């Protein structure tokens, strides 16, 4: 059963995003486990946790971990030295939210973009409850908003404000927007971050995978993929009116061949994305606009079913 806190309709409403704070305790990010796609040949593992800040270099002592050896200082002084680190008190949590034109689609309950904003808000409130620093990268076809990680309720409210205020964009003629965003994310992300990337992943390709591979060497990435049931399967034979709020068209689904090809195309896209994430060893959580987001997010994060 869908929790009433999640939005319906076609608008990202600030009041709805604020109301999701009531669900934050049901998505405890510190309990997350990495659940990998079956293609990876791996099931679950603990996340690496908070990042580490460099503290100092000192001489090696018996029992020290040799993996922390500072080879430059050792070579310069002729005596073994190791690097010491301290754990960050607040882990950076980066919430990446796709609000491109292709996300402004939905035939059940809400649009993909509205669901994406809901999930981004929920992660923001959950990170706040966990004492983490919250950052964001919100983008459409022509614009992106960077929110550098900070602590506090004011930071979450800024995230919600950005989600609600980013203008709807027209589709871009460029097919490399996802590449641009992955490159941008690589430039701004801080090592030790937990990244929650919410998108339908249209346009994700080998170049994007390369960028995420480099990010994933120092940070934890979780991919949340959103879709609509009509993207997976066309409705039964008939004529259906579709609109983007300005223009209307009629969808003719009488052709069984068309319906079969549509479904096979979606399955192939899902397979390719799963393969990308499998190679990256990135957990992939898939939700449709008519799913219960909280239940699937908890299962996908290895937390279990909501109580």
pLDDT for 27 equals: 95
Q: Residues of the chain with pLDDT > 70: what percent?
A: 87
pLDDT, tens only, 118-148: 999 999 999 999 999 999 999 999 999 999 9
pLDDT of residue 144: 96
The answer to whether residues 155 and 94 touch, using CB atoms and an 8 Å cutoff, is: no
Q: Which fold has domain 14-47+90-300?
A: Rossmann fold (3.40.50)
Which one has a higher pLDDT value, 91 or 194?
Answer: 194
Kindly state the tokens that stand for 163: 């989600």
In this prediction the pTM is: 0.83
More confident residue, 60 or 110: 110
Contacts of 145 by beta carbon, 8 Å cutoff, 6+ apart: 136, 137, 138, 139, 162, 166
Ramachandran category for residue 268: left, alpha or beta (phi over 0 → left; psi -120 to 50 → alpha): alpha
Four-CA torsion 99, 102, 107, 108, nearest 10 degrees: -30
Tell me: pLDDT of 43 over 60.
no
Band of pLDDT at residue 36, cut at 50, 70 and 90? low
Domain extent listing, the chain: 14-47+90-300, 52-87
């Amino acid at each position: 059963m869908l929790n009433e806190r999640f939005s319906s309709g076609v608008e990202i409403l600030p009041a709805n995003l604020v109301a999701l704070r009531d669900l934050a305790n049901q998505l405890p990010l510190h309990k997350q486990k990495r659940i990998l796609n079956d293609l990876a040949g791996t099931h679950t593992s603990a996340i690496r946790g908070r990042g580490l800040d460099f503290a100092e270099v000192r001489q090696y002592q018996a029992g020290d971990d040799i993996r922390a050896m500072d080879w430059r200082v050792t070579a310069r002084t002729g005596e073994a030295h190791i690097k010491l680190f301290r754990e960050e008190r607040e882990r950076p949590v980066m919430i990446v939210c796709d609000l491109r034109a292709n996300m402004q689609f939905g035939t059940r309950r809400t649009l993909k973009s509205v669901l994406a904003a809901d999930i981004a808000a929920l992660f923001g409130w959950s990170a706040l409850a966990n004492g983490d620093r919250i950052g964001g990268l919100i983008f459409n076809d022509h614009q992106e908003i960077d929110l550098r990680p900070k602590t506090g309720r004011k930071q979450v409210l800024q995230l919600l404000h950005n989600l609600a205020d980013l203008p709807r964009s027209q589709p871009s003629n460029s097919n490399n927007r996802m590449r641009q965003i992955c490159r941008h994310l690589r430039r701004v992300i801080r090592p030790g971050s937990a990244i929650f990337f919410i998108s339908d992943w249209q346009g994700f390709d080998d170049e994007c995978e390369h960028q995420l591979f480099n990010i994933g060497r120092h940070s934890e990435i979780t991919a949340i993929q959103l879709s609509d049931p009509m993207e997976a399967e066309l409705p039964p034979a008939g004529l259906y009116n579709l609109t983007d709020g300005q223009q209307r068209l009629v969808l003719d689904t009488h052709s069984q061949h068309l319906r079969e090809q549509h479904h096979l195309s979606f399955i192939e896209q899902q397979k390719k994305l799963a393969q990308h994430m499998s190679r990256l060893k990135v957990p992939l959580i898939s939700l449709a606009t008519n799913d219960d987001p909280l239940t699937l997010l908890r299962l996908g994060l290895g937390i279990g079913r909501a109580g």
